[in-house]
Amino acid sequence: MSESMAQLPGLFIFLFLMAGTQGIILSVVLWRHKSNRLQNQLLAWLVLMFSISLFFFILTNISAYYDHPLYPGVTAGWIVGTAAANFLLMYLRACFGLPAMPRRAVLYWLPTAFFIVLMVARYMIGPGVAANFIAYGWVGLGYVVGMTAWCYYKFHLYASRGTVVQSSRKTKRYLRWILLFFATYSVVQITGFTLYHYIPSVVSLYVSVLVKLLTTIGIYAIAYLNVQYAHQVAPVMMAMPVEPAEKYKFSSLDEDTALLIREQLLALVERDKIYLQRDLMQKDVADKLGTSVHYLSQVLNERMEVSFPDFVNRLRIEEAKRMLSAGDDSKIESIALDTGFNNKVSFNKSFKKFTGLTPSQYKMQAQKLSDRV
């Protein structure tokens, strides 16, 4: 271990220890949260990865532990780092109502699996198997940076596809903060890794401390943002089973027409709020757009990954959430009818399906959050 790393001030060790502990507590709270369960569970994993990285950093700077035969080496840090990058992408997809873990996403976990194998080999064969830790470090760091860039690309792609409609501004603002933090973290991580391994000096110590300070800030920032936006950020279109792509294999719908239909659909629902009409049929919407039911169905299923009923009901629930969050004194049944549902029972069922809460529970939660702010 370098001499500079042994000089880490005790104040920082205490600070990181407290932040890591609170991060674990936060991850448990997020995991148990009933609203937007999938998003919160993925966010819990992300926070947990950051907390583990803080504990690992503390142990690395304790000389007695660093020389211990059970010390996992730097590979443990890259296991955590690559896993955190994957959870970031999964969380991003979940916030946009897309499947968090599509089939091809299993490939994203190969770098994490590589470092796990490397760490196991270190225990079974000896430290020499991981002697070239600088090269391995660049593999891990390169993956984290690459995945961060990929998340930025996916963020803009999902937003431009119109996956988020009614709560787009709030969702985008929230996700931009998360992505900005992760990007900053990656840049500083590159600087710290370079200085520590190629320019050993006290500067590398402070850069390493800066990385962990960013991690600490990130844990608290995520907690704050989650409190501020948890009742507002939810995917407008849930990832529900939709018609298979094979159905449209011989469709004559071209890309330009599909894009035009999607844009016209989003403009229609935002301008006229047609989803508030009771007994709204897919044919009614297709007629307003001047297209066929078949084309509209294909655009919803393939381009927006949602079925027509879920598309409409999700928009209705978003409208109801705004009314409940605004302190609307109307009865639940009145809000149900005002948002296009035929009765209170179907409204409660859809509300619970998309939010994990009943309308009454959501209203109480929104009021509590409003009182805190």
What is the pLDDT, as a whole number, of residue 276? Answer: 92
**Which residue reads 């039911």 in tokens?**
293
Under 8 Å between Cβ of 208 and 192: yes
Report the share of the chain in percent with pLDDT over 90. 4
What is the pLDDT, as a whole number, of residue 238? Answer: 40
Give exposure, 100-127, as e/b (b: 16+ Cβ within 10 Å).
Answer: beeeeeeebeebbebbbebbeebeeeee
Total H helices, total E strands in the chain: 15, 0
**pLDDT digits 0-9 by tens, 87-120:** 888 887 777 666 667 667 778 888 888 878 877 7
Here the tokens at position 314 are 């999700």
Indicate where the chain has its CATH 1.10.10.60 domain(s): 245-372
Question: Among residues 59, 61, 72, 58, which one has the least CA distance to residue 115?
Answer: 72
Instruction: Find all residues with CB under 8 Å of 48, minimum gap 6, and list them.
Output: 23, 24, 27
Indicate where the chain has its CATH 1.20.1070.10 domain(s): 5-229
Architecture of domain 245-372: Orthogonal Bundle (1.10)
C-alpha pair distances (Å), 331 with each of 197, 327, 337, 339: 64, 11, 10, 12
> Cα–Cα distance between 174 and 159 in angstroms, integer?
13
**pLDDT digits 0-9 by tens, 352-372:** 888 888 888 888 877 776 665
Q: What is the pTM of this model?
A: 0.57
Residues of the chain below pLDDT 50: 1-6, 64, 162-168, 231, 233-244
**Which residue reads 């674990």 in tokens?**
24
5-229 — its CATH code?
1.20.1070.10
What is the pLDDT, as a whole number, of residue 237? Answer: 41
For CA atoms 36, 42, 46, 52, the dihedral sign is positive
Under 8 Å between Cβ of 181 and 214: yes
C-alpha pair distances (Å), 19 with each of 156, 173, 218, 304: 32, 25, 10, 39
